[in-house]
Amino acid sequence: MINDIKKDAESRMKKSVEALHGNLNKIRTGRAHASILDSVTVEYYGSQVPLNQVANINTEDARTLSVVPWEQSMVPKVEKAIMTSDLGLNPSTAGNNIRVPLPMLTEETRKGYIKQARHEAENSRVAVRNVRRDANGDIKSLLKDKEISEDEQRQAEEAIQKLTDKYIAEIDKILESKERDLMQV
């Protein structure tokens, strides 16, 4: 029973860290990478689909993305979707190819993005701590039902705390890396 609680807690903590990776990938650094456009959706035959399901997204150089829709009729829709996204990008179309130049980040926008990254990291830390709280509650209920001894409870809670410390340290490392990327000019 205790092992099940530990495994469940660890898998939920891993999911929190994976979610942090996904959220931080949406925050753009000064360099172009295709995952910047992951949050953009396009209307395709009446439904909203992710951009990467209707077009190829590549990096042309350090500051330019190239988007090539699979169908000629999708070019204006894709261009409009990129423009109306909250990413602040202005694509330019040349035939079938849509070029998305990434503007240089100002010091002010860098600080704003760092603030956003710290907020995302804090949300992940809170999620990890909530998992710890849930696991400790499950362990306490086992003790209350006299299914485990107090020593087993203490050992299980220490193991859960070690897991929590491990994942919070991982979140801090990920945040530090993202801040370093954002501050590079």
Average pLDDT score over residue span 174-179 = 89
Q: Which amino acid is at 31?
A: R
- Pair 15, 61 in one domain: no
- Pair 45, 96 in one domain: yes
**Cβ neighbours of residue 37 under 8 Å, at least 6 residues apart?**
51, 52, 57, 65, 67, 82, 85, 87, 100
- Pair 118, 55 in one domain: no
Write down the pLDDT at residue 119. 93
pLDDT in tens, 107-123: 888 888 889 889 999 99
Average pLDDT score over residue span 140-157 = 87
Q: Which of 106, 71, 90, 89 is nearest to 26 (CA)?
A: 89
Query: What is the rounded CA–CA span in Å between residue 112 and residue 40?
Result: 21
Q: Which of 26, 24, 9, 27 is nearest to 127 (CA)?
A: 9
Average pLDDT score over residue span 66-94 = 84
CATH of the domain at 122: 1.10.132.20
pTM, 2 dp: 0.72
Write down the pLDDT at residue 111. 86
99: its two tokens: 């070029």
Q: Does the pLDDT of residue 54 top 70, yes or no?
A: yes
Domain count, the chain: 2
- Pair 41, 21 in one domain: no
Structural domain that includes position 54: 34-101
In this structure, the chain runs to a length of 185
CATH of the domain at 72: 3.30.1360.40
Query: Domain boundary residue among 69, 101, 133?
Result: 101
- Pair 113, 96 in one domain: no
Query: Domain boundary residue among 84, 101, 118?
Result: 101
